[in-house]
Structure formats: C-alpha cells, structure tokens
Structure 1
Amino acid sequence: MKSLILFVLSLCLYVTASFAQSSVLPFGVALCGAEFGTENLPGLYNKNYIYPQKSEIEYFADKGVALMQLPFRWERIQHELYGPLDVEELTRIKKFLHDCDSTGVAVILNMHNFGRYKTNGIENIIGSLNVPITAFKDVWKKLSSELSGFTNIYGLDIMNEPHDMGPYSWYTTAQEVISAIRQVNVEVPIMVQGESYSNAVNWTKFNDNLKNLYDPSNRIVYNAHCYFDNDNSGRYQFSYDASGVNAQTGVEKVKPFIEWLKDNGKRGFIGEFGVPKDDARWLPMLDNFLKYLTANDISGSYWAAGQWWKSYPLSLHPIGGSDQPQMTVYAKYLQNNTNPIIALSTTVASR
C-alpha cells in the first residue's frame, strides 16, 4: 500500500510538472494596423490606422494559420479613462472576430500599449496617479463583458510588452485585472506578458514572480516574445554576420522561458517572433526555433503581417500575390494546425 501511495504521488508530481506541455497548440500571425498611428490618438480610421480585411484573414487561413492576433490601442477603444467604450471601435473589433469565426480562425486580442495610456500627448504608466490600476481594470471589465458572447477568442492579452514600470508593480496590476475580468467572464483565457518587453531570454530575471498570479478559472497563458537579433528587440539593426548569431540562436533565446514554464507547471505562448527576409541565413534559425517550440508543445504567433506593413523587413504579408520567404519555413508548421478552440479547451480542461 505504501508503495502504491508513493507511486500515485510521483505521478501527480509528474503531471503537474507537465502542465504546459500536454497538447500542441496552433501557430498564428499578428495582423497589424489597428495599433498604428500612435502620434494621432484616437486618430482617424483609414487615415491614421486600419483594421484587417477579411481577405487578409482568408489568405492566412488558406495557408493553415488557425489563429490571428489583433493588436489594438486602449486610447481608441476608450477615449477617456473610466468612460464608455467607443461604439465604432468596438464594432470594428467585433467585425474582426466575426470575420475570423466565419473563416474558422480563433483570435487573440492584444492591447498594444506597453503598460501606458496617453493623454494630451503624454504617456503615463499604469499604476501612476494619472492612470490608476482601477482604470485599467475598468476597461478590461467592460471589454471582456462586451465580448463574452464570442466563442472564438483564444485569449485576452491584457497588455503588450510592459516595460520600465518604475515603482508600479506589473504583478499587482496583472492580478487586479485578472480578478476584474473574472467578475464578468469566467471562461476566456487571459494572456499575461512580462516586464521588460516580455523578453523570453530574460523572463526569469524580470518575471519569476508572475508564477504566483491567481486565476480562479485556472486559464492564465504566459506570453513571451523572442527575437533573434543581438539586442532581442526585433529591430534587426545589424546584418546576420554583425549580429554574432548562428542557426541555434533562436532556440537558445527562447529556452529560458520554456524551462520556466516546465519548472512551474505553467502554460505558455510565444506572442512575437520573426526574422528578416533580406538574408536567407535567418531562415534555418527560424526553422530550428519552430522545431524546438513544437517539440515542447508550445506555439506562438509570427510578428507580423498587415496591408500597411508590406515593406517591414519581418513582414509575412504577401506582395503581389506572392508569399514572403519566411512563409516557406513557417508553412511547415502550419500543416498540422489543429482547431485552436478545441485544442485550447482540451488543454485547459486537462489541468
């Protein structure tokens, strides 16, 4: 009997340690445009910013992409702190959700504000006197309530790349928002990015305390970003040779985050990654990176695509009907994409 008890306890520990690694999740693409025009907030639609067209969604869906990430700005969905949600902007978000749903695609909604809210041209950090945590809770509570009827939301990504938060605790802010969302929506997964631009390579240094976040629905997904250039920024300011990289650099940079997930029994996602298209030597690095993610049952979303970003060096957006070079590599990992909502429900329910 004692041996049986020890065996059961060991099995439980093994299952807990394998929390984030129990099922393969779908790879996606970020469709940009709604977060553009940050010098003009809220700005004019179709002049300062745009939303993706259904044809863009269909192009990537035809390639096997089953998950679209939509970056948007807080200042556009809510013009004043604590104010009502902007009806027109909310309609655009809902249309995107409907377009994705009719195409069989799930959505991550990503508030693209870097831990800040801009008023009168000045950015104020969440948690400060000018942008209290209660204001951040207010917008997410209203938004998650409005979107509670959609079944193709893969996750609410509460804030993109918080950084330099100073004396204001990102951990405290994230916990408060999780609790606020759960007051109106207990089903939707909540994505939490980390301090210091959510960088995968430095995740344990800046974000180890996020493992203590509590979600009564147990549906937190930790979202790290991983670029392969020398400063991890994704700007790729230097050539391949000058960057001092090799074919395994992507694996080396994402490994700390994946090991953290395993060690703490957490579920994760790589919300941004990408390589330039001007040097084919970046492609084997991307291939090895994706192979490593797949081997560890972790997926992510390529950054980025969108009709206003065709000239962006990392862009996956087709030009003249032709695929970008990065798609030749990415397509290999899209062939076996599963239905993201089924995969999500199965993964969460098993934990």
Structure 2
Amino acid sequence: MTARLFAGACLAAMLLSTAPTVSAAPATPATEPLPWRGISLSSAEWGEKLPFPGVHGKDFVYPSVASTAYYQAQGMNLMRIAFRWERLQPVLMGELEPTELARLRAFVDGTTARGLHVLLDPHNYAAYKDVHVGRPEVPIEAFADFWRRLALQFKANPNVQFGLVNEPRNMPTETWADAAQAAIDAIRATGATQLITVPGNGYTGAWSWFERTWYGTPNAEVMGRVRDPLDHMVYEVHQYFDHDGSGGHADCVSPEIGAERLKRFTAWLREHKRRALLGELGGGANPVCEQAVRGALQHLQANADVWTGWLWWAGGPTWGDYFLSLEPTPDGKDKPQMRWLAPFLKPAP
C-alpha cells in the first residue's frame, strides 16, 4: 500500500517461518492462531512526492520501538516496517546511506529484542525514483544488489524477514518474476537464511492473481516459477473488501466478500504446494466490514496448511484519524477493529 494520507491500501482498483511444503487436501481448521499475526507500520516511506529525500521528523518518521508494545500485548508477533529504497541507497549499486540505515536498524534491533519479528518492506512498487525495475535505468541487477547489501546487514538476526518489495506494478509479470528470482538468489548468496516474502505483479491482489485484462500475464501463470533454494519463501498477497479492492473506502461489498476474494488463490497455493502471507487486509469500522474481515481470517485459519498468517493495514505514528489505522486513540482506547482481530490473535481460553 502507498503511504498517502487520503487514500487507503493498495491501488488494485484498476481492475512465516516454515518451509512451503503443503498437503494436497485442506487441513483441519486451526484452533490456534496462525504463526504470523501483525501489522504494517507505515510512515518511514512517506514524503516521496516532496523534494526527495525529505526531512526526517517532518516528511517521514520511523515508528518508535516503544509503540510496538501495544501490538505485542494484543497478541501480534510480526511488525512489517515500510521504508524507501532510494533513501536507504541514494545511488544505485552504491553503499547504503549510514544515517538512514541507522534509523532502520534502531527500529529493527529494538523491536526484535522485544521478541517480535520484523518484516522489512521497501515500499517502492518495484521502482526506484518512479522508474520500474527491468528498465535500462534500473536493471534487475540493481535490485539484486540492493537486496544483497540489505541481507548482509540483517542476516545475523533470526527475527528479521525479507519482504522483497511492496506491490509491484506497471511492468510485465515476467520481468517481475525475473527480478524476484534475482533478489532471492542474491539474498541466499550472502548466507542469509531468513524467510523471504514474494509479492506478485499488479499490486499483488489475491483476487487479481488470475487477471489478464490489465496488468499483463496473470501471476497464476508466472509466479509459480520463482523458487528459493532453501525452500523458505512464501507469497505475499494483499486483499481489501471494498467495491474496487483498493482499501480506499470504508464500506465493504458484503459480509461474505472476505472469504470469497481469497478462495481461488487458496486453491492455487494448494495445487502448487506453496504457502502465503496475507500481507495487507483491512476494513472500515462498520458491521459489514467486521463480518468480511472475520470471514477472511476464518478462511485463513481453515486453510492453515497454505496460509502462514496475516498483517493488518495499517499502524504508525502519524496516521491521525485514518479509518484503517489501528493506533490507539490519544486517550488510549482501542480502535473498533482491534476487537474483531482479538479471536485470531490469542488461543481461545
């Protein structure tokens, strides 16, 4: 999802730690929470449309380590932290910028020291300064080089996970698959063994995994060829339940839409013996969205052989009254959506 204040989640409107070995048939519905439950923390990627790289503390800011205690107390164990590739690596194929790396490391080291896991999220849509990977200005080799350097920085921390990029778009699916494979190979060449999450093209929507009308060859026909030599990767898909699947609207289509938009992708995972993380989901604070979100999470738990977990969109320190933010209110009260998530965060008593 883009980190803009006035739109939600992914723009699909244009339409973790286990190996990916799965059974041929649906598993018995899970009675325990899925392995990964958490939230996407957004704000360190903001300010991309201002004079870049912007001013830290004004145009963008990292969440504090202390703020993760709230989510941990609810039963969450995975924090997805968004940041910008260009800030971390100002020159393609160049060194990582020390000050920006220190900001990212401070959050990662402090949060993982609390016992949480952190999923790194270059929130770039598979582009560098708005030029997409695979074009002459941003060759696939540059994307692989970035991930080699980042993996070297964090490979010693077993509580770190590597999310290749947020929501690839505006590129051939074949190009994205090649770039994803190059990044995986570069990560593994460093000796890093952590979980890697791999998005699909076209904003990586679960409901658009099979679409061929607008983003190119369907992910369903291409992304299955991406492989991890350690068999320690999962696909990362995003799913919202409003009329266009963007997450930009507070209303959801129906109480049943949560499970409906996931079922076909679930079947694809089982057929291909792969696993996935629902890297973004969300809904406005109303009864229909409550049922849609609960239905989606029930679907994940009922198919725990292929689903490893989920992340709510979004949290972070500067969202204000954004309708999908789970940050507690200024007086310390939970947002309504936190109540919806409670049964999926902790074991039943």
Shorter-normalised TM-score: what interval?
A: 0.7 to 0.9
Find 1:117's aligned residue among 113, 119, 128.
128
Aligned to 1:135: 142
Task: Give the C-alpha shift of residue 18 in structure 1.
Answer: 6.1
Q: 1:76 aligns with which of 73, 77, 87?
A: 87
Give the AA of the match of 1:323. D
5+ residue gaps in structure 2? 1-20, 212-217
Aligned to 2:284: 276
> Are 2:151 and 1:144 aligned?
yes
1:257/1:327 CA distance change after superposition, 3 Å? same
Match of residue 93, structure 1, among 101, 104, 107: 104
**Identity percentage of aligned residues:** 34
How far, CA to CA, are the matches of 2:312 and 2:87 in structure 1?
24
* Distance verdict in 2 for CA 1:139–1:22, change over 3 Å: farther
CA contact (8 A) 2:173 2:219 kept: no
| Structure 2 residue aligned with 1:218 | 231
Alignment deviations for residues 232-273 of structure 1 (CA, whole Å, 9 cap, x no partner): 11111xx63xx6x21110110111221111111001000000
Provide TM-score, normalisation by structure 1.
0.84
For residues 25 and 125 of structure 2, the distance between their equivalents in structure 1, rounded to whole angstroms, comes to 31
User: Within 5 A, what are the aligned runs for 1:143-222?
Assistant: 143-153=150-160, 155-166=161-172, 169-205=175-211, 206-208=218-220, 209-222=222-235
Q: Is 2:122–2:165's contact at 8 Å kept on the other side of the alignment?
A: yes
- CA distance in 2 between partners of 1:210 and 1:230 (Å): 26
Rounded to whole Å, the distance in 2 between the matches of 1:93 and 1:108 is 12
CA shift at 1:336, angstroms? 3.0
Q: 1:232 aligns with which of 218, 242, 245?
A: 245
* 1:300 correspondence with 2:306: no
Secondary structure, counterpart of 1:17 in structure 2: coil
Who is 1:256 aligned against?
264
Aligned Cα RMSD in Å? 2.1
Choose 1 or 2 for highest CA Rg: 1
1:266 counterpart SS class: coil
Cα shift readout 1:300-345 (whole Å, capped 9, x = no counterpart) = 10000111113211111111201000000111111139xxxxxxxx
Gaps of 5+ in 1: 1-13, 338-351
Q: Which of 10, 21, 33 is the equivalent residue of 2:43?
A: 33
Write the distance in 1 (CA, Å) between the matches of 2:269 and 2:174.
Answer: 25
Does structure 1 conserve the Cα–Cα contact (< 8 Å) formed by 2:156 and 2:192? no
**Partner secondary structure for residue 81 of structure 2:** strand
Instruction: Name whichever of 314-323 and 96-105 sits farther off.
Output: 96-105
Q: Give, in angstroms, the shift of residue 101 of structure 1.
A: 1.8
* Preserved contact between residue 195 and residue 207 of structure 1 (Cα < 8 Å): yes
User: C-alpha distance in 2, partners of 1:224/1:101?
Assistant: 24
SS at match of 2:197: strand
Q: Distance in 2 between matches of 1:128 and 1:56?
A: 39
CA change 1:20–1:73 in 2 (3 A) is: farther
Letter in 2 for 1:248: E
Specify whether residues 284 and 126 from structure 1 end up closer, same or farther in structure 2 by C-alpha distance, changes over 3 A only: same
SS in structure 1 opposite 2:178?
A: helix
Give the partner amino acid of 1:109: L
Q: Is the 8 A contact 1:204 1:260 kept in 2?
A: no
Judging by fraction of residues, say which structure has more helix.
Answer: 1
Q: CA deviation at 1:83?
A: 1.1
Question: Deviations along 1:189-213, whole A, 9 cap, x unmatched?
Answer: 1111011100000113321211111
CA change 1:212–1:20 in 2 (3 A) is farther
| Alignment correspondent of 1:291 | 298
Give, in angstroms, the shift of residue 15 of structure 1. Answer: 5.6
Letter in 2 for 1:257: F
Structure 2 residue aligned with 1:334: 345
Deviation at 1:186, TM superposition (A): 3.9
Q: How many residues align?
A: 313
- For 2:22 and 2:170, how far apart are their aligned partners in 1? 36
8 A Cα contact 1:71 1:109, kept in partner: yes
**Distance in 1, Cα, partners of 2:248 & 2:278:** 17
Offset at 1:176? 1.1
Query: 1:42-57 residue pairs with structure 2 within 5 A?
Result: 42-57=53-68
TM-score norm. by structure 2 comes to 0.85
SS at the partner of 2:194? Answer: coil
Pair 1:83–1:22, CA change in 2 (3 A): farther
